[in-house]
Amino acid sequence: MMAVSVAAIPPFERFYDEHRNAVFGFLVRRVGPDAAEDAFQETFLRALRGYASLEHGKHLRAWIFTIATRVCIDQTRRTPSNSLLQGELEVAVEDAQPVHLQLDHLADELPPTEHAAVLLRYGYDLDYAEIGAALGSSEDAARQAASSGIRRLRRKEGGA
């Protein structure tokens, strides 16, 4: 008998159908309803590009939200909005980018949920309610995942 893997990669259609509304809602909150449409298309095209090299179907929700978050950052950088906000945004992005890159690298060895929670919290400055929504869990679970990820990183640093 063939074993059915719980982490089999679903056909892209099913993956897209399952996450599209949540991702779109997230993008509308992050970049507003107009920019969200382009960001939505870009997010799922990037996912499609990476889909063939996925090794398993675990943590797909965290994966697509990480992509969506990166798309928001890129989009904000490319088309800074007018006047007053522009300066602030550029400062925020200048700050955020290196942090996210460092964190992404540092947090590589964490379990995927902790990785995503740490990255979204400290790399992209999402609040725990948003991270919970992104990871398909609660605000509390997101807080716990981020803090246990940070503890793990500290232990690693201390032990190294």
Q: Which residues bind other proteins (CB under 8 A)?
A: 9-14, 16, 20-21, 24-25, 28, 37, 40-41, 44-45, 48-49, 51-52, 54
Residue 82 CB, nearest distance to other proteins (Å)?
Answer: 25
CA dist list (Å): 41 to 36, 38, 67, 90, 115: 9, 5, 12, 24, 25
Nearer to other proteins, 17 or 90 (CB): 17
Residue 18 CB, nearest distance to other proteins (Å)?
Answer: 12
The DSSP string of 45-110 is: HHHHHHHTT---STTHHHHHHHHHHHHHHHHHHHS--SHHHHHHHHHHHHHHHHHHHHHHHHGGGS
Residue 15 CB, nearest distance to other proteins (Å)?
Answer: 8
Nearer to other proteins, 14 or 154 (CB): 14
Residue 3 CB, nearest distance to other proteins (Å)?
Answer: 14
